[in-house]
Amino acid sequence: MRLSLLCRYACLLAVLLPGLAQAAGALLLVGGGLKDDNAAIYQRLVQLAGGSGQARIGVITAASIPESQDPDAGTASAANSRANGEYYANLLRSYGAADAQWIPIDLDHIANNSNPQVIAQINGMTGFFFGGGDQSRLVQTLQNVSRGDTPALAAIRNRHAAGAVLSGTSAGTAIMVAGPMVSGGESYEALRYGPYTTPSGDDLSYDPSGGFGFFTHGLLDTHFSERGRQGRIVRLADYTGVPFAFGVDENTGLLVKDNPSLGQVEMEVIGTGGVFVFDLRNAELGGGSNWALYDVLASYLTNGDLYRPQSGQFVIANSKTSLRNREQYSSAMSTTGDIFSSPNNSGANGRKKPREFVLVSTDLFNSRSTSTLGRTYELNPRYRVDLIKSTQFDSHGYKGTVGGQTLISYLRLLMDVRPN
């Protein structure tokens, strides 16, 4: 590994170590696209907030488009903050919450972040749900100009320390991160041009100040496999010197909580998709004029799988069994020409090949091939992604059925990204 990377990692860990102990409350982080019928996530949120008939959940939709900018304001617009807040509050009550209330803080009601009545409302909650939209709006409404806590965010932080669960979807998940916070961009532009601190088009953008600081285990990204964000988060992790990065798929939750019997934090995957864990501790930069990175380890966890970040231990759900010597196919699928699900390769319903990286990588573990590859849809340069079952790192795939859904998980897949 390059010395500069070691120095950056050491400096980062020195910053994060004081916050590594998980607060009393859990985090339930959803990758966006949360469906109304996802009982596994909604019921777990209610349970973590005190249980059916006891949970009191505050709904924060400050990331939504504010009423003053919403052409449909005054109607039942799903885009405006109040409508979103009431929508989620009704949904949470339908899943057993004793009460769920919209917390009236957004860009149209920004003064409420210090309103004593709103603070009292927050102090009565046993859990909080942050809706999606644009995480920069959460920064503007819940932090002050020096990026410190407003009274409202301080109250939420105190409730979390006392045991209240924090949950979010999309932007509401992205804002939870402690380290640099990704704010936009596509994988191809990330590989070609690198990151910027000012959002612009499809360029990779990020906020160096991070988010609210509740998730302290690495970078965090959402809408992950559906929008092919593997390239952008790995590029940002390398640039910022963060050794671990997590990507949460749509309609999928990453539950982060203390496991007292183990004396450490434990993460659990809930829902229909999966969660990526990227490990860059052994990654090596290429030496050419175009960016390249070698020896990234990618793990993909699905429903019921666990990860313990402090010990680095993965625990695959009992319902899944090893794919070694049980592979369904003799060889991996044909090389793909859109490994990162480019928006430029559009179909009738958006991206023509959503979840392409997951399809290619899980297929590799369900075959007797030892490697496969995919290329970016964009050219000049075109990037190549090699995926390799590594004997050195004990790459391993698992398959099983959970809730009637067939799922494949894998651990420590070696990933190289280079121009081709």
Whether residue 276 contacts residue 227, with contact meaning beta carbons closer than 8 Å, is answered with no
Whether residue 166 contacts residue 27, with contact meaning beta carbons closer than 8 Å, is answered with yes
The confidence score (pLDDT) of residue 9 equals 42
The encoded tokens of residue 172 equal: 């509401």
Give the pairing of strands 56-60 and 127-130. Answer: parallel
Range 3-315 classified under CATH 3.40.718.10: no
Catalytic residue among 189, 250, 327, 378: 250
The confidence score (pLDDT) of residue 76 equals 35
Known catalytic membership, residue 250: yes
CA distance 329 to 389: 15
Q: Tokens 């970078």 identify what position?
A: 219
Which ranges of the chain have pLDDT less than 70? 1-23, 66-79
Q: How far is CA 361 from CA 135, 271, 284, 386, 397, in A?
A: 30, 19, 21, 10, 10
The confidence score (pLDDT) of residue 71 equals 46
Whether residue 45 contacts residue 29, with contact meaning beta carbons closer than 8 Å, is answered with no
The confidence score (pLDDT) of residue 20 equals 39
Share of the chain above pLDDT 70, in %: 91
Cα 102–chain centre separation? 24
- How crowded is the C-beta side of 221, counted as CA atoms within 13 Å? 32
Cα 304–chain centre separation? 17
Catalytic residue among 223, 299, 361, 395: 223
**In the chain, which segments carry CATH 3.40.50.880?**
3-315
Cite the DSSP H helix spans in 59-210: 81-94, 116-123, 135-142, 151-161, 171-174, 187-193
Query: Phi and psi (nearest 5°) for 38?
Result: -80, 80
Catalytic residue among 167, 170, 342, 361: 170
